């Protein structure tokens, strides 16, 4: 349900606020149905409130909250598989923050932000080499990349070499020029190399999953934020001829002249632009920053200084454009960028760095040890078939014993052999020492993190509190749904009885049935009164009044019939609401109002007030339920502890 999702999101980022000292937080504040509840739990509840009632009011709210939970437990809602799955999902998501090194993570976020605040103009050449290539093929690709780098070092133009040697399919159109980029827009090895390069220098071959890259950074500048623009485009086909380019350029130039002469950008975008995805919206695009669209387009867009101004025609590989600036945003602050940085970190290999730091720390904390003799047996029995995943250790020959241990955990030699078989080689090597070391590290990291995960509730009270509070919030929500909202919705008879008892609170507005004669001639009071007095009793009196007062095809007399409530019609609120005729003026014009009936407030029909009545009915059911809870589940409050809380808060 929507409320449940909102609850999960709000609690996921909530960490308890230490409002007061720790000396009384473990003291028992109250018991509900025999369950002791600490002062610290009330302090957490209080910290999450945003109202302005006094602390006694919050204590009453807390008691009601705990009574609902007691009722939910009595109904065994905590055994619901749906609730268990929801709580586990929240708990596992929260645990991710505890299963990496927080200081390392914070450093990585800061590094990512610093990079986001710096834009690099990057050139590159790619020598393809898949990540699963054989060692000989990998060496050949590296040597090819090294030779390419040497050619540029010796003086050949980067662009010329790129067009002849790069395996990047975009090189034909960009000559290896990637334009300006920022963080998280390339692979992490590529990004790390680019941000470490001084301007003008050439990298050594950089390995990524795609192959080897030769990278050159020709400029560094501060981030420019993002822009919102609209554009008009004349498209160019791939591999276009010079004649096609000239034709598109002439078309965009004609549009540019129309814009300079004051024609509407929105209208010309709708009728002239070849970019159909945006044309119907006046050429409007989504917000974008550097590296998120074609480089030439982005540079032109950012160069426009004032909203409303538009560029001269700009050529990109896709065609010709005129760009109009709508708005600009400055770069995000660190706090504003943090959610984005968090999401990128979770998706990148950088997170493994924070995990590795945690694992190293846990090894020390839990006295991790590897048995040298067991490790040596695996090294001695890891031939190239084993290291390449083509064969496995002979389970009958594996010696008994422990490969490594930590805390009260043991990894037997047999379990490790099974791990290697199930996981396969995690490094490409013919070196048995390296192979065994990597596999032991992988197994250790998995085991020690799982062990740490199992201890989070005991090790970190704030983690346990967050999970427990979330579970209780769900229980209170679910029991309220069953005992209040569902009952209110399903009890149609009770709702109608409630309506009959309370329909006097839902009355129609007072209104009048009237005819209003407005003569739009200032000073025409006598003429209007004379015509009205002469004709209003006649069957066709309104027609006769109109013929008398409306001359030369003018509509000076306006006659309105209807039912009006207070405030709905000028002039009505200035007279007494009673049957008969009244005279007044509106905006200086004479008005005669003949009231034929006054409608007193009456109860509105049931269907008209059903939703509002249902809300009150449900609230009434809830109040009755809470009174019943107070009878069913005894509550005892330790007043002295509460007074101590009040003094400190």
Using one digit for the tens of pLDDT, what is the confidence trace for 628-643? 999 999 999 999 998 8
- Strand ranges for 155-279 from DSSP E: 177-181, 206-207, 211-222, 226-235
DSSP string, 426-454: SS--S-HHHHHHHHHHHHHHHHHHHHHHH
Q: Specify the pLDDT at position 52.
A: 72
Q: Specify the pLDDT at position 637.
A: 92
Closest of 493, 574, 630, 616 to residue 63, by C-alpha:
630
Per-residue pLDDT averaged across 415-420, rounded?
96
Q: Specify the pLDDT at position 8.
A: 38
Q: Specify the pLDDT at position 18.
A: 39
Closest of 407, 389, 505 to residue 455, by C-alpha:
407
Please say whether the beta carbons of 203 and 189 come within 8 A.
Answer: no
* Contact partners, residue 128, CB within 8 Å, separation at least 6: 141, 167, 210, 211
Displacement of CA 376 from its chain's centroid (Å): 51
Pairing relation of β-strands 557-565 and 511-519? antiparallel
Closest of 640, 634, 645 to residue 54, by C-alpha:
645
**Confidence bin at 336 (pLDDT 50/70/90):** very high
Per DSSP, 326 falls in state E
Per-residue pLDDT averaged across 294-305, rounded?
92
Least confident of 194-208, 239-253, 324-338, 604-618: 604-618
- Strand ranges for 448-556 from DSSP E: 511-519
Report helix, strand or coil for 74. helix
* Contact partners, residue 313, CB within 8 Å, separation at least 6: 249, 252, 253, 256, 320, 321, 322
Report helix, strand or coil for 558. strand
Least confident of 95-109, 542-556, 607-621: 542-556
Residue indicated by tokens 């990585």 = 108
* CA separation for the pair 573, 568 (Å, rounded): 9
CB atoms inside a 10 Å sphere around CB 157: 11
Beta bridge partners of 595: 514, 580
**Confidence bin at 624 (pLDDT 50/70/90):** very high
| H or E element in which residue 463 lies | helix 461-480
CB atoms inside a 10 Å sphere around CB 122: 26
Pairing relation of β-strands 211-222 and 118-128? antiparallel
Residue indicated by tokens 């919705």 = 489
Q: Specify the pLDDT at position 19.
A: 39
Report helix, strand or coil for 73. helix
* CA separation for the pair 310, 314 (Å, rounded): 11
Closest of 628, 629, 622 to residue 483, by C-alpha:
622
* CA separation for the pair 9, 415 (Å, rounded): 39
Q: Residues 384, 390, 391, CA angle at the centre, nearest 5°?
A: 85
| Torsion angles phi and psi, residue 488, rounded to 5 | -65, -40
- Comparing 347 with 260, the larger pLDDT belongs to 260
Mean pLDDT score of the chain: 89
Q: Specify the pLDDT at position 14.
A: 37
CB atoms inside a 10 Å sphere around CB 582: 17
* CA separation for the pair 416, 393 (Å, rounded): 10
Q: How far is CA 180 from CA 102, 122, 127, 185, in A?
A: 32, 6, 21, 10
Q: Specify the pLDDT at position 50.
A: 66
* Contact partners, residue 221, CB within 8 Å, separation at least 6: 118, 119, 121, 180
Q: Residues 380, 381, 382, CA angle at the centre, nearest 5°?
A: 100
* CA separation for the pair 201, 124 (Å, rounded): 12
pLDDT digits (tens, 9 = 90+) for 117-145: 999 999 999 999 988 788 788 899 999 99
Report helix, strand or coil for 521. coil
Q: Specify the pLDDT at position 23.
A: 65
**55-74 and 610-632 helices, crossing angle to 10°:** 80
Predicted TM-score of the model (pTM): 0.64
Examine the pLDDT at 6 and tell me if it is beyond 50: no
pLDDT digits (tens, 9 = 90+) for 441-495: 999 999 999 999 999 999 999 999 999 999 999 999 999 999 888 878 888 888 8
Percent of the residues in the chain that have a pLDDT greater than 90, as a whole number: 64
Q: Specify the pLDDT at position 207.
A: 93
* CA separation for the pair 586, 526 (Å, rounded): 16
């Amino acid at each position: 349900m929507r409320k449940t999702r909102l609850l999960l999101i709000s609690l996921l980022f909530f960490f308890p606020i230490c409002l007061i000292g720790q000396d009384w937080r473990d003291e028992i504040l109250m018991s509900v149905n025999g369950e002791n509840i600490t002062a610290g739990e009330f302090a957490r509840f209080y910290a999450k409130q945003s109202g302005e009632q006094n602390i006694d009011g919050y204590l009453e709210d807390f008691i009601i909250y705990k009574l609902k939970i007691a009722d939910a437990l009595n109904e065994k809602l905590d055994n619901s598989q749906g609730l268990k799955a929801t709580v586990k999902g929240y708990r596992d998501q929260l645990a991710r923050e505890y299963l990496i090194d927080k200081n390392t993570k914070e450093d990585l976020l800061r590094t990512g932000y610093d990079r986001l605040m710096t834009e690099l103009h990057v050139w590159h050449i790619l020598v393809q080499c898949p990540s699963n290539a054989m060692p000989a093929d990998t060496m050949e690709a590296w040597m090819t990349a090294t030779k390419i780098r040497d050619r540029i070092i010796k003086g050949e133009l980067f662009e010329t070499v790129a067009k002849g040697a790069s395996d990047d399919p975009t090189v034909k159109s960009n000559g290896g020029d990637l334009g300006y980029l920022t963080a998280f827009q390339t692979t992490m090895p590529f990004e790390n190399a680019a941000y470490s390069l001084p301007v003008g220098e050439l990298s050594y071959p950089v390995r990524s999953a795609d192959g080897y890259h030769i990278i050159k950074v020709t400029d560094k500048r501060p981030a420019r934020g993002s822009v919102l623009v609209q554009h008009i485009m004349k498209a160019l086909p791939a591999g276009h001829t010079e004649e096609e380019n000239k034709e598109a350029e002439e078309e965009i130039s004609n549009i540019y002249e129309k814009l300079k002469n004051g024609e509407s950008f929105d209208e010309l975008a709708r009728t002239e632009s070849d970019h159909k995805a945006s044309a119907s919206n006046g050429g409007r695009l989504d917000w974008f920053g550097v590296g998120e669209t074609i480089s030439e387009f982005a540079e032109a867009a950012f160069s426009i200084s004032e909203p409303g101004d538009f560029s001269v025609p700009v050529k990109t590989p896709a065609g010709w454009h005129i760009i109009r600036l709508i708005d600009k945003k400055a770069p995000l602050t660190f706090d504003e960028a943090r959610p984005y940085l968090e999401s990128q970190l979770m998706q990148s290999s950088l997170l493994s760095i924070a995990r590795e730091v945690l694992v190293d720390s846990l090894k020390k904390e839990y006295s991790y040890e590897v048995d040298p003799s067991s490790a040596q047996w695996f090294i001695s029995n890891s031939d190239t078939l084993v290291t390449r995943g083509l064969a496995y250790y002979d389970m009958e020959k594996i010696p008994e014993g422990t490969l490594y241990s930590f805390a009260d955990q043991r990894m037997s030699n047999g379990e490790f052999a099974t791990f290697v078989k199930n996981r396969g080689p995690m490094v490409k090597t013919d070196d048995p020492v390296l192979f065994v070391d990597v596999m032991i590290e992988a197994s250790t990291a998995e085991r020690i993190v799982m062990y740490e995960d199992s201890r989070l509730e005991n090790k970190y009270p704030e983690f346990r509190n967050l999970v427990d509070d979330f579970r209780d919030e769900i229980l209170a929500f679910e029991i309220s749904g069953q005992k209040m909202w569902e009952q209110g919705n399903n009890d149609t008879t009770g709702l109608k009885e409630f309506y009959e008892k309370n329909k006097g609170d839902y009355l129609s507005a007072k209104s009048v049935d009237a005819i209003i004669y407005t003569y739009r001639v200032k000073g025409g009071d006598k003429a209007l009164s004379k015509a009205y007095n002469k004709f209003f009793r006649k069957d066709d009196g309104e027609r006769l009044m109109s013929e008398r007062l409306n001359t030369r095809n003018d509509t000076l007399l306006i006659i309105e019939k209807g039912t009006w409530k207070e405030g709905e019609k000028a002039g009505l609120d200035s007279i007494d609401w009673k049957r008969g005729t009244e005279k007044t003026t509106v905006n200086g014009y004479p008005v005669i109002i003949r009231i034929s009936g006054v409608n007193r407030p009456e109860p509105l029909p049931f269907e008209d007030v059903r939703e509002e009545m249902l809300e009150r009915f449900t609230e009434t059911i809830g109040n009755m339920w809470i009174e019943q809870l107070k009878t069913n589940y005894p509550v005892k409050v330790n007043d002295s502890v509460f007074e101590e809380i009040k003094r400190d808060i």
